[in-house]
Amino acid sequence: MSTVMRPAISLIVLMTLITGVAYPLAVTGIAQLAFPEQANGSLIYDDQEKVRGSVLIAQNFTGEQWFHPRPSAGAYATVASGASNLAPSNPALAQRIADEAAKTVVAGQGPVPLNLLTTSGSGLDPHVSPQAAAYQVSRVAAARHVSPDAVQRLVDANTDNPLIGPPVVNVLSLNQALNALPSAQL
C-alpha cells in the first residue's frame, strides 16, 4: 500500500506546487513587468491621485451635466454583472426600453441611440458609440454652460478606434476630461 500511496501523494504535492504556486506567481510577475497598468486594473486617477474608477467597468453617472453610460441590468454592481436575459418578446423588456427612452430623450436630437437604451452582455460595458456620446453633447453643454463645440471636441478626443471593432468612447474617461474643461471654453 505504501508503494502506491507515497508516489500518489508526492505527485499531488508536486503538481499543487507547480500549478497552484509557481505558475500563478510566474504569470503575475510577467504581467506586472510587461503590462503593469492592465495587471493592476486599468485604474483612472484624478488630479489628486485618487482612484476614480477603471476604464474596464462602467459607472453610473446621473445628472444632466454628465455623459451617461449604457444601462446596466445589475445596477453597475460587479458582483451581479450580466445581461437581463429578457427575451425580445417579453413585455418587461419593451417597457424597460420605453422607460429608458423617455428618461434619456433629448429634445430636437431625434431618436435615442440604441446603445443608450439596451444593456450590454456583461451589464458593465464602459463604452458607448460616438453617436451615443454625440447625442448627449447638447444636454451636457447646456447643463454646464459650455459651448457644444468644446464638448464635441472632448468626445472626438476621447474616441478610441480599436484594431478590431467599431469606434468607442469610454464614458468615465470622457467625464473626467469634461470635468477638467476650463471655464474659458465657454
> Residue 34: enclosing H or E segment and its boundaries?
helix 23-34
Q: How far apart are CA 172 and CA 178, in angstroms?
A: 10
Q: What is the pLDDT along the chain (186 residues), one digit of tens a residue?
A: 678 889 899 999 999 999 999 999 999 999 999 999 888 888 888 778 888 888 888 888 888 899 999 888 777 777 766 667 778 888 888 888 888 888 888 878 888 888 888 887 777 888 999 999 999 999 999 999 989 999 999 999 999 999 999 999 999 999 988 888 765 444
Give the up-direction half-sphere exposure of residue 148: CA atoms within 13 A in the CB hemisphere: 8
Same domain, 26 and 82: no
Q: Structural domain tally of the chain?
A: 2
Same domain, 125 and 98: yes
The residue range of the domain holding 167 is: 42-185
The closest of 138, 141, 129, 134 to 169, measured between CA atoms, is 129
6 and 60 housed in the same domain: no
Q: Is the pTM of this model over 0.85?
A: no
Measured CA to CA, the distance from residue 141 to residue 65 in angstroms comes to 7
Q: What phi, psi does 26 have (nearest 5°)?
A: -65, -45
Question: Domain check: are 104 and 171 in the same one?
Answer: yes
Please tell me whether residues 84 and 162 are part of one structural domain: yes
